[in-house]
């Protein structure tokens, strides 16, 4: 999760720069005015949420893992061992946000679940597996 946190930070920085550039150069706002209205604030928050969600959904759909998960040989898959669907990816992402908002309890849940599933695993009917060393 730490490695993916670095990637998410990079995405946030890129989106924030693009957002600021749009408001400054396209809409013509003065630099000290950007981020002072509810529209400015909420449009940035929604863009950050959208692009981070896109990163995770794309990664899980493409190969079942993000770059950070590759480092730890983790893969997300269906309980039958197949690639997860778009719907499962979106559910997984939404529940992941809720798990993090609940101070990570959704991820600590693996310590108490007999099948070692997190809240995102349970809600999306997926599993996270450790791949064998090559």
pLDDT in tens, 103-119: 999 999 999 999 999 99
Q: pTM of the predicted model, to two decimals?
A: 0.88
Range of the domain at 93: 2-130
C-alpha dihedral sign at 82, 70, 102, 104: positive
Q: How far from 83 is each of 8, 35, 76, 96, 128, CA to CA, in Å?
A: 23, 40, 8, 18, 11
Count of domains for the chain = 1
Task: Kindly report the number of other CB atoms within 10 A of residue 54's CB atom.
Answer: 12
**Helix 86-101, helix 38-63: angle, nearest 10:** 130
Q: Tens of pLDDT along 25-73? A: 888 878 777 777 888 889 999 999 999 999 999 999 999 999 999 999 9
């Amino acid at each position: 999760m730490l490695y993916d946190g670095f990637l998410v930070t990079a995405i946030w920085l890129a989106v924030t720069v693009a957002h600021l550039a749009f408001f400054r150069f396209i809409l013509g706002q003065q630099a000290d005015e950007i981020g002072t209205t509810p529209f400015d604030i909420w449009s940035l928050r929604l863009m950050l949420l959208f692009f981070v969600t896109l990163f995770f959904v794309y990664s899980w759909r493409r190969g079942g893992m993000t770059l950070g998960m590759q480092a730890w040989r983790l893969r997300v898959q269906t309980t039958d061992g197949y690639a997860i669907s778009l719907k499962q990816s979106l559910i997984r992402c939404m529940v992941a946000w809720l798990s993090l908002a609940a101070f990570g309890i959704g991820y600590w849940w693996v310590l108490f679940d007999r099948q070692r599933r997190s809240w995102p695993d349970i809600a999306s009917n997926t599993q996270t597996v450790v791949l064998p060393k090559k």
